[in-house]
Amino acid sequence: MKAGSEAPAGAALTVLETAVAPAWVDYNGHMNDAAYAGVFSQATDALMEWLGMDAAFRSAAGYTIYTLESHIRYRREAHEGDGLRVEAWLADHDAKRLQVLMRLCDAADGTVLATGEQMLMGIDTGSARPAPFPAPVAANVDRLWQGHALPAGHDYGPLTTRIRRR
């Protein structure tokens, strides 16, 4: 995904499209719960790229993102070969944290299969400590906030993650 690529304002940002792999299917014949977490993790990596943090940037800048907290709500089953789409919104942010909400959908009909909340922290890899987003990343965070903030009246239910301000 191209850093800062656009989608309609207020819309979810599609960050990942994939399909249920045979290895993700469990003894019940549907996608294993751990595979949902893996898909949300891949979607977080894709969001990092959208924000301009590809491997080259992370290496040159000595900067990355860590997941501090993650919550998944399972809504529907997915089966081998089903197409999947992950959409993201930014619920909140500050100088070094992102509260991201994602929706895992059936790519064919848009049925919501699961939702995921991620609390992400920007990290200086040299010190392994939290650090503010580098300027180009911060600019893309602002673009994400302007175009893909979580809409009022969302159907996520109560959010379990939040940015605490001091």
Give pLDDT tens digits for 127-154: 999 999 999 999 999 999 988 877 666 6
Give pLDDT tens digits for 25-60: 999 999 999 999 999 999 999 999 999 999 999 999
Give pLDDT tens digits for 84-100: 999 999 988 999 999 99
Q: Determine the 3-state secondary structure of 82 from DSSP.
A: coil
Q: What is the pTM of this model?
A: 0.88
CA of residue 87 relative to chain centroid, distance: 8
The predicted structure's pLDDT at residue 54: 96
Dist. CA 52–CA 38, nearest whole Å: 21
Torsion of CA 106, 35, 68, 150, to 10 degrees: 0
Give, in words, the CATH class of 13-148.
alpha beta
